[in-house]
Structure 1
Amino acid sequence: MNNFLYKLSIINQLSESQLDESVMICIRGYVDSPSVDAMTGGNKSLEGPLFRAMIRACQLAGRVYIATVNDTGAIAGLALWFPPGKVLWQNDAQRNLGFNQFLASLSPKTREWWINTYSGPALASFIETALSPHTVESSWYLNCICVDPKYQHQGIATNLIKMVEQQAMTTSILALCTDTDDNVAVYKALHFQYKGEAPLPTPEDEYINVHCFTKPGARV
């Protein structure tokens, strides 16, 4: 990593300017994500509140990993990881950090999709089957990873994953899901084990293929 031009850090509390910067990186990095389009009901103005709620919840219950440019301190990428026993929007304390407001801003149709489909038993059942019925208890789960497009293809995402891989205890695994074929190829190249896919209905009655992966921690 001698030629790696970025500093990797765990951030307990982002400043407001860093939070704004991180939200914009997510918006730019997930511009073609079918899942984000479904989660916002196609409303681009809700992408910022969605990512802001995710990051703030992760600051409370998970761990925010960032890569900053050595020369400028600008955030180049970030990853939102939840350790074993923790999940995104698990309780009111997390949901009150922007998620409830985001949910209230959705159209009734998209809000119903969140409650009955996305957060419902169908996807949860698939994830438990594809990964493990004990995923929450045994996994470091990657909810979001994003690199600003102008800094991509420089090993940032790989190193943000390796940070957690090296910290995972002997009983832990890394787990994640993705919605694009490009990312499937990336995670396979990083030696994640492909666990299967499931069609997730969208609010518009289309389908997104959700692909699941796991990888043992470095010392397993």
Structure 2
Amino acid sequence: MSRQYQQPPGALPPPGLLSAQIPNLGPVIDPPYSDVPDFSEYLAPAETKAVEVEPLESWFTTDIRQKAVDLALESDRVTRKLEGKRHQVLDVGTRSMDRETELPLVGIYNYTDDVVVEVTIDPMRRAVIEVAEKSYQPALTESEQKQAVEIVRDDGRLAAAGIDVSTGVGLIVEDEDAGSPRHGHRLVDLRFGPADRYVPTAFAIVDLSAQEIAEAGLIAQEVAP
């Protein structure tokens, strides 16, 4: 090995870090699953130590988020794109303009055309910097999950089968068949509890773009001997 790549004696690692061990603290499952073993029995014990931390205040406050949403929805550039379209604000994140500048980024989903309208806001100037339409599926929001659960509840099939639809939790999935009528739609894959079971008891694929259920059914349960 060339000397330019050799570690200077005693330079690294710092004192006390000759052996860096990363403990596996394991998942916290509450309530514990009733149909699978407790995972904690497979994990090595880990020593923990309480430390003091100093919370840092973010510039990206709730007030700034709300102002960004208000400015986006009041903008003529945005309203022209959303006029007559069923839409919903999904999230307010940030966009890095350069190494020192971050601006609020409002994400609005257009369920009519299945596109995301991204609006970059300068809250100090109270100005819309950029409006762009993009084709991708953002993460499911809590509001959308509630909508999907209500669609399942109104459908009534799973409730009639004894499923507690209020236990439904989901994520976004995509229909990759370009010839499918649901290709590009906002699809939510819901799975239903009870919460203390690892294996779901039922499922439903909810199309939020069409406001209907694409598919639903019960999931076969394995019975322990």
Fold similarity call, TM over 0.5: no
Work out which structure has the larger RCO, using CA pairs closer than 8 Å and 6 or more positions apart in sequence: 1
TM-score, normalisation: structure 1: 0.26
**Bigger Rg, which one:** 2
Report the structure, 1 or 2, having the larger helix content: 1
